[in-house]
Structure 1
Amino acid sequence: MTPAIGIDQKDLTEVAHTLAKVLADEFLLYTKTRNAHWNVEGPDFHTKHLFFESQYEILDETMDNVAERIRALGHYAPATLKQFLQLTHLTESSRELNDSTGFIKELLADHESIIVFLRSNINRFANELHDAGTSDFITGLMETHEKMAWMLRAHLK
């Protein structure tokens, strides 16, 4: 059943399609953060292992929230690795070293890329696609990523 929430179906479809890209980015970043958690090595192993765990836990909740927002708009969330890889604008990593600094730099770049993408859609969702709710929702996501990026950045000082 199509939601009757005061947003044109064409606009809902466009919002859901953009959120599918956000979900794919979140999933890829979650996977890369899990990789860092599992594979980090070095004298700071224990602290970074725990730090990466705290980050992927936030991303796990974030993914669920994005998928549920897509469903609330009457669309299905992508849920296969193939779909995620087709939709994401992030890249998978291939690392030679499993040092914390390398992981942190890579994850930071991905968070910043997501922040830019989210920021570019805040006004678009509200003004062009008439969905103030999703605009507000992605503003919150952006703030979450800004805080996570700050935490990563702080490790590089």
Structure 2
Amino acid sequence: MAKTAEVLKPRARVEKIGIGLEDGYRQEAAQELSAILAATYALTIKTQVYHWNVVGPLFKPIHELTEEHYNTLFAAIDIIAERIRALGHLAPVNFDKTASFAPKRGDTEHRAAVDMVEDLIADHEAAVRQMRETAEKADEAGDVVTADMLTDRLTFHEKALWMLRAIVAV
């Protein structure tokens, strides 16, 4: 039993990772992906809050679209975290910062449906800009896996933007 406990005990060590990416790049990519992960968490929570609280004539399309979006965003969280791990770094583990994942108090309260959609549009646009910049760096570093993952994420966000804009088009 003692040997099993010793084997399972976490040890801090520096790993040599030889996947063809420079250590400095992997560190920078992990930091940027951690920021993307936090932003994705925040957008997931905000989207779900709006899903629960939308009212008015746009209720049904917004309610259904936001449910689809928060489910997709939630699945993306795991994909992003696992890419950080594959780059040889820990996914964010400081739970003191989880409060930053949630919308600020009052940000999502008592908003009209159109205001909710416009707020989600702004957050998706910010996500697109952040991911596009990180994907370009990944391409330059030859990190095709991160670039491909971010391309997939960008595809989702750009389609989400199209659908959100279509709901509130006049």
The TM tier, using the shorter chain, reads 0.7 to 0.9
Indicate yes or no: 2:107 matched with 1:99: no
Residue 147 (1) aligns with residue 162 (2): no
For the pair 1:77 / 2:91, whether they are aligned, the reply is yes
Q: For 1:140 and 1:45, how far apart are their aligned partners in 2?
A: 28
Offset of residue 138 of structure 1: 1.0
Distance in 2 (alpha carbons) for counterparts of 1:59 and 1:82: 19
One-letter code aligned to 1:131: D
Identity over the aligned pairs, expressed in percent? 35
Aligned length: 153
CA deviations over 1:103-123 (Å, ceiling 9, x no partner): 111001100111111112222
C-alpha distance after superposition, 1:41-90 (max 9, x if no partner) = 223334422221111011011111111111111111115361572xx8x9
For residue 161 of structure 2, what is the amino acid of its counterpart?
Answer: A
The residue number in structure 2 matching 1:117 is: 130
Cα root mean square deviation, aligned: 2.2
Corresponding residue of 2:56? 42
| 2:81 paired with 1:67 | yes
State the alpha-carbon separation in 1 of the partners of residues 128 and 20 from structure 2. 28
RCO higher in 1 or 2 (8 Å CA, sep ≥ 6)?
1
Report the TM-score when normalising by structure 2: 0.80
Q: How far apart in 2 are the matches of 1:95 and 1:33? A: 10
| 1:153 maps to amino acid | R
Alignment of 1:26 onto 2:40: yes
Instruction: Mark the runs of 5 or more structure 1 residues left unpaired by the alignment.
Output: none
Query: For 2:99 and 2:103, how far apart are their aligned partners in 1?
Result: 11
Distance 2:71 2:51 in 1: 11
Matched residue of 2:92: which SS? coil
Distance 2:38 2:155 in 1: 18
What runs of 5+ residues in structure 2 fail to find an aligned partner?
Answer: 1-14
